[in-house]
Structure 1
Amino acid sequence: MEPRLGTFRVLGFWHASSSISTIVTCPWIGFNFAATVFGGCHKLEPLPAGKKAMWTREMDCLLSVCDYIVEFYPSTQTLPDGTKVEVMATRPRSDIYINLPALEKLDAMLISAMMIRSCATDGAGHSGQLPEGGVLARKDLQQRRDCANQIHKAAVAINSGVLGDMEVPESFTAVLPKDVGQAILESYSRVLESLAFNIFSWIDDVLFVDRSIRKLNDNLKP
């Protein structure tokens, strides 16, 4: 595994034999992982531990490519004899340095929003109604809904920024990333954008059903 992983990171190919460019491979891998992990999620419920571990492990592997995407900048180095010379040092490329940590934070927040099993979900039962006295449960769900909405907006903004930096014709920006780093940032932000929208919708479904049932119960009371 390690030799192939090293080839993937340094040389920019997932399979050296077939010479598949990382620009094409990385987005495909990201979308494929997302479909595997989140494809079976159709409502607000905790993500299984196995899938959560797989998502963290595989995304860490995929994003490690960005460790090798750097830019040069002039720096001063002091030699043993005290002589100072100017050299070119490396640092993470600015777009990756800014956007990748932000996307990873959004990722953690979204997974956290899913990892709940409280009266907000368990107490709903078959009726979909939150339990009596579940004011805290509703407040918690509302906060998570607002959080998911903000994460969705942030992911959309990052995606738009990455696409805006791609020096290619507008008609090709969706399918022709400029380089590996932008390909990873663009696909990662799209995955999180979709997940945030789903969580937002699932929470809305729970709150809507709860409001509807409570309104119906109030109307039936003598």
Structure 2
Amino acid sequence: MMKERFAKLLLGEDMSGGGKGVSSALALSNAITNLAASIFGEQWRLEPMSSERKARWRKEIDWLLSVTDHIVEFVPSQQKSKDGINMEIMVTRQRTDLHMNIPALRKLDAMLIDYLDNFKDQNEFWYVTKDEEDGEEGPRRKDDKWWLPRVKVPANGLSEVSRKWLQFQKESVNQVLKAAMAINAQILSEMEIPEAYVESLPKNGRASLGDSIYRGITLESFDPEQFFSTVDMSTEHLVLDLKNRIEASIVIWKRKMTNKDGRSSWGSAVSLEKRELFEERAQTILLMLKHRFPGIPQSALDISKIQYNMDVGQAVLESYSRILESLAFTVMSRIEDVLYADSLTQDPSPGDAKGRTSSLAAEPVKLLTAAEEEAKRTSWAEPPTSMTLSDFMGWHLEQETEGEKKHPDGKQETTNSLDKAPLAKPADIVTTKRFSYIEKLENLGGLRSPTARH
């Protein structure tokens, strides 16, 4: 099997040998993507991976990642000669972006598998197949996950300890998701925009966005939240279409500002200052879209970058971070399924199923300082810290004991620091200052732009 895959990589997936295959970068990217699909594609339950799947994943992903060990750069180094003279020579070392990100991604990989292992001994929820579900009474799944087994919980719901443990696991996976998203966004931002994509763009930003979206962005008093309230984002297709339009307009405006495009048909009466302002607003909308809909498919720009990318190192980093992002989102969705089933026992008549997954998109992302982000990146190289249900129960009970106080009459009083802490009012979005949108988005907990991470 390994010989066959090695042959496909060398041939660029052109088994005729005619030299019409894809580039080495794309072939390696496809190999990592296909491997992840075969290993994680049917992770339909919250349960550990089998030992066979784990062994296959580790063996084959190590084999595919090994190419990065030979992608090097020259750096100066001091060397002392036999006669004691210090000389500066050039030596090779692994390229900086690979040296920084490959260990971090391996760490996130191990953490996700470890989180799945934590569900080994749980017995408070289980799954039934579609055939078993048809023979039971009760509410049916009404969302688009009809192929997944249905989660079942006890009639009185999960215990409080299990519920809090699931929330703890969800938060842990969410941290992995955000880290993988940040790395993937950074790598994609560093990839060159293919000329084929540029040639396919309309002649100006207005033609790309459409009249209604263009008016929303170019208003004198721009408010991102108000903009989203006027745009139909009821389906994934509409969200992806909006993302494609926004990204295309950003590319058009940037190229016009830097005079990289000489086509006369792209001429416009819009001033450079206004075009810069519109591009900044579009960037704000794009960041908020990625925050609200982390599971959205890749945009046309991302697909084009991956397809035409010739850098093997970037191809490995992008595909590896993308499949880890996908796996983290899948695990979070499975946890949401269990929490949703538990909520049905508390309220048998909830709203539509869309509310169940809203927390995946609306959960605020904490903005890290440069020092905090560097500390977090360093922590990825440490052993993963996870907590099984039994561990969590012991920790939870210990915390409760420490939080209990006694009254003079002998009664116990449980203190909760969260109850005492006042709720902070979110900052209002200021639209009077020209460069306030990105700053306010970060203050509200939005995802940082790739360039702001360094």
Note whether the superposition's TM-score is higher than 0.5: yes
Summarize the Cα distance change of 1:132–1:209 in structure 2 as closer, same or farther, 3 Å threshold: closer
> Which stretch shows the higher mean deviation, 46-55 or 130-139?
130-139
> Is 1:140 matched up with 2:165?
yes
> Is 1:157 matched up with 2:182?
yes
What per-residue deviation string (whole Å, max 9, x for no partner) do you get for residues 97-141 of structure 1?
Answer: 11111111111111111112233xx32145721587733322221
What is the alpha-carbon distance in structure 2 between the residues aligned to residue 207 and residue 154 of structure 1?
24
For residue 168 of structure 1, what is the aligned residue in structure 2? 193
Identity %: 42
Structural mapping, 1:73-92, within 5 Å: 73-92=75-94
What secondary structure sits across from 2:75 in the alignment?
strand
Aligned mate of 1:15, from 6, 10, 14: 10
What secondary structure sits across from 2:25 in the alignment?
helix
What is the alpha-carbon distance in structure 2 between the residues aligned to residue 81 and residue 150 of structure 1?
54
For residue 220 of structure 1, what is the aligned residue in structure 2? none
What per-residue deviation string (whole Å, max 9, x for no partner) do you get for residues 149-201 of structure 1?
Answer: 22112111111100111133364313222411100000001101110110000
Structural mapping, 1:34-49, within 5 Å: 34-49=36-51
Structural mapping, 1:1-150, within 5 Å: 14-15=9-10, 18=17, 21-115=23-117, 116-119=119-122, 122-125=123-126, 128-129=152-153, 134-150=159-175
For residue 187 of structure 1, what is the aligned residue in structure 2? 319
Summarize the Cα distance change of 1:178–1:22 in structure 2 as closer, same or farther, 3 Å threshold: closer
**More helix per residue:** 1
Contact 2:181-2:325 at 8 Å conserved across structures:
yes
Contact 2:32-2:319 at 8 Å conserved across structures:
yes
What secondary structure sits across from 1:117 in the alignment?
coil
What secondary structure sits across from 2:10 in the alignment?
coil
> Which stretch shows the higher mean deviation, 177-186 or 80-89?
80-89
For residue 382 of structure 2, what is the aligned residue in structure 1? none
TM-score computed with the length of structure 1 as normaliser: 0.83
User: For residue 75 of structure 1, what is the amino acid of its counterpart?
Assistant: S
What is the alpha-carbon distance in structure 1 between the residues aligned to residue 318 and residue 10 of structure 2?
22
TM-score computed with the length of structure 2 as normaliser: 0.42
Q: Kindly state the Cα deviation for residue 43 of structure 1 after the two structures are TM-superposed.
A: 2.0
Contact 2:170-2:335 at 8 Å conserved across structures:
yes
Q: Kindly state the Cα deviation for residue 215 of structure 1 after the two structures are TM-superposed.
A: 3.9
Summarize the Cα distance change of 1:87–1:107 in structure 2 as closer, same or farther, 3 Å threshold: same
What is the alpha-carbon distance in structure 2 between the residues aligned to residue 66 and residue 150 of structure 1?
26
What secondary structure sits across from 1:59 in the alignment?
helix
- Please, what is the CA RMSD of the aligned residues? 2.7
User: For residue 213 of structure 1, what is the amino acid of its counterpart?
Assistant: T
What secondary structure sits across from 1:150 in the alignment?
helix
What is the alpha-carbon distance in structure 2 between the residues aligned to residue 194 and residue 108 of structure 1?
15
Gaps of 5+ in 1: 217-222
Q: Kindly state the Cα deviation for residue 14 of structure 1 after the two structures are TM-superposed.
A: 3.0
Is the radius of gyration larger for structure 1 or structure 2?
Answer: 2
What is the alpha-carbon distance in structure 1 between the residues aligned to residue 345 and residue 178 of structure 2?
31
